[in-house]
Structure 1
Amino acid sequence: MNFFIVGAGAMGCLFAARLQKAGFKVFLRDYLPDRAALINRKGLRVEGIDGEYEVEVPTLTTPPAFKPEAVLICVKAYATAVAAQAVKEWLPPEAVIVTMQNGLGNVETLEQIFGPDRVLGGVTSEGATTLAPGRIRHAGRGDTVIGPSRHPQTAAIAAAFNAAGFKTRTIEKVDNLIWSKLIVNVGINALAAITRLKNGRLPALAGAKTVMEIAVKEAVAVAQAKQIQLSYPDPLARVLEVCRLTADNIASMLQDVLKHKQTEIDYINGAIVREGERLAVPTPVNQALTALVHAIQESYEDRLAR
């Protein structure tokens, strides 16, 4: 199986490097020509829990010279539509599109562009941090899940991920999958962005853990109102487990804040607020977290130095 990975951030580079290292044919799509040229010149460099290694992965800003079988979408949620439209004409009609993104709405956006029969939902709890263009730290392991299981390509893609060292399983109900990952992100990402702490430190601080507990409880109440069946029995315990497993990881939203970039807050905690309003489920802590991250984004140039 060959892969076309859209997005040269931490997760896109991690999947590209591991799949290429496992012997699969991989191409990486980057919208930035200078960064693509750098990766082509120096390769992808990964350090962290499996040691340090370098892999050459062709990185493109133009259509690939092969027909991709699986396309992994690894861009930020706010860039999904633009990225998908940019590569739509490059892909054969039989190519399967797999979202490996955070937040709500990505599957629906991709289905509108490619059609529902071509889109798989996917989530991963692998932790990765960008250190420099084409250089990442693999900071923690976690499960990867894709679905629906009934799709004819799901099993083959899961097998490829497992061969590349990603512990992967399949699931039938994608909504349950997306919401199960969303609630983990609700508990970690905004708090990390606001406190500027690595994942493992959040539960160790009483104040941060209290906010985490309430934010997760609100998100679970919204999920229950939607009749979502989460993939774990104890949502808070799952969030704490991810914090432990990815203790040294810098959450993606914190990475964005440190780089003064737009975050995915509207697709994570903000999505809980919107769904809560629609279903008459109160979400005051998620509303506050969303507002605080927006305030940080809007004041990047005004923040005081030490």
Structure 2
Amino acid sequence: MMRIALLGTGAMGTLFGVRLAPIAEVWMLGTWAEALQAARRHGLRLTTPQGEETAPVAVAADPMEVPPCDLALILVKAYQTERAARWAEQVLRPDGVALTLQNGLGPYEILRERLSAARAFQGVTTMGATLMAPGHARLGGEGPIWLGPASSNRRQIQKIVDLLERAGFQVEVQEDLQGVIWGKLVANTAINPITALFDVPNGALLARPDLWRLARGVARETAEVARAQGIPLPFEDPEGFVAEVCRRTSENSSSMRQDFRRGRPTEIDALNGAVAAIGRRMGVPTPLNEALWRWVKAVEERRGMAMRPAELERGPSPALAQQMDRRSLKGHGG
């Protein structure tokens, strides 16, 4: 039986833990004590339209407690990737691999630099989950998982595909993930910060003309930054795509809204911040992405969770933006 280190104790970590536990030995590794305690006492819980699924998992707050693993599944927030990559390196077998399904731009590059391209894989999913309590999530919507590139390490890719399909996930392997990554980024940059700042579920963006105008504008900007890099998006109409995501996940609470409600830092740097930074360097105007980035950072600053005001003036996530420039301009697909 495959042994998996699940790095991420939030909603997505709970979702994947529940689905993977019946077919693998799952170790949930993280720093959120309440989630680890809940998983240890009662197992993980996932509420779906069909009912409630539960699964026992092993838990650890220290990578030294985890036996050697075949796969590290990275589901932490983008700003936590450095630590997750170090922990993945510690818990993996010499031939073990890591897969990131995180939001935004940058996490894969961090993982690849730590583990090498042969052992680090990137994926994208449109699945969503809302955290109900520590160790308990509600499924926010099913969706495929895209993995790639197919040519990097076919044997390891196929092992991951087989595992995820046995767990009930729909999986597709692609040679170039850039279009899928930026397609999801169009939706995330348009939906996440607005639903967080106005404290509304995803579907409310379609019900409120003022919020929808803003979301539409952000979607167009992000799509233009992708096109300027020669990245083909998986849709013709970015506004229509975002509208469809809002309809399909109308009752869902975006991950950034959940972060706001829990008083935690957000992934704004890897979303709107990264898009604004790349747009600036490529000469593509992104005033709405920039404004939302600054607005969210201001809220975080007020709550004592973000960079200092002087750092704000230097622009969105400088190190991350530099990484993404190198990646995007090379057209690297993951």
**Aligned residue in 1 for 2:50:** 50
Distance 1:167 1:200 in 2: 24
Contact in 2 for aligned 1:141/1:246 (Cα 8 Å) = no
Distance 1:161 1:231 in 2: 23
**Aligned residue in 1 for 2:102:** 101
Residue 189 (str. 1) matches residue 192 (str. 2): yes
2:287 corresponds, among 279, 284, 288, to: 284
Distance 2:65 2:18 in 1: 17
Cα separation, partners in 2 of 1:225 and 1:33, compared to 1, 3 Å: same
Shift of 1:88: 1.6
2:204 corresponds, among 196, 201, 206, to: 201
**Aligned residue in 2 for 1:304:** none
Distance 1:197 1:34 in 2: 26
Contact in 1 for aligned 2:189/2:272 (Cα 8 Å) = yes
CA distances 1:263-299 after superposition (whole Å, capped 9, x unpaired): 1111101111000011010001111111111122222
Contact in 2 for aligned 1:47/1:137 (Cα 8 Å) = yes
Contact in 2 for aligned 1:266/1:290 (Cα 8 Å) = yes
Question: Normalised by the size of structure 1, how large is the TM-score?
Answer: 0.92
Backbone CA RMSD of aligned residues? 1.7
Question: Normalised by the size of structure 2, how large is the TM-score?
Answer: 0.85
Write the letter of the residue equivalent to 2:188: N
Secondary structure of 1:199 counterpart: coil
Residue 165 (str. 1) matches residue 190 (str. 2): no
Secondary structure of 1:116 counterpart: coil
Give structure 2 stretches of 5+ with no counterpart. Answer: 305-334
CA distances 1:53-84 after superposition (whole Å, capped 9, x unpaired): 22111112233554322211001000101221
Give structure 1 stretches of 5+ with no counterpart. Answer: 302-306
**Aligned residue in 1 for 2:219:** 216
Shift of 1:25: 2.4
**Aligned residue in 2 for 1:146:** 147
Shift of 1:147: 1.0
CA distances 1:237-272 after superposition (whole Å, capped 9, x unpaired): 222222222221110000011111111111101111
**Aligned residue in 1 for 2:274:** 271
Distance 1:236 1:162 in 2: 31
Matched residue pairs, number? 300
Cα separation, partners in 2 of 1:174 and 1:47, compared to 1, 3 Å: same
**Aligned residue in 2 for 1:129:** 130
CA distances 1:112-136 after superposition (whole Å, capped 9, x unpaired): 1111111111111111011111011
Distance 1:243 1:159 in 2: 30
Tell me the percent identity.
36
1:241 corresponds, among 216, 241, 244, to: 244
Contact in 2 for aligned 1:125/1:242 (Cα 8 Å) = no
Shift of 1:149: 1.6
- Segments of 4+ in structure 1 off by > 4 A? none
**Aligned residue in 2 for 1:35:** 35
Shift of 1:34: 5.0
1:257 corresponds, among 257, 260, 272, to: 260
Contact in 1 for aligned 2:9/2:32 (Cα 8 Å) = no
Contact in 1 for aligned 2:34/2:134 (Cα 8 Å) = no
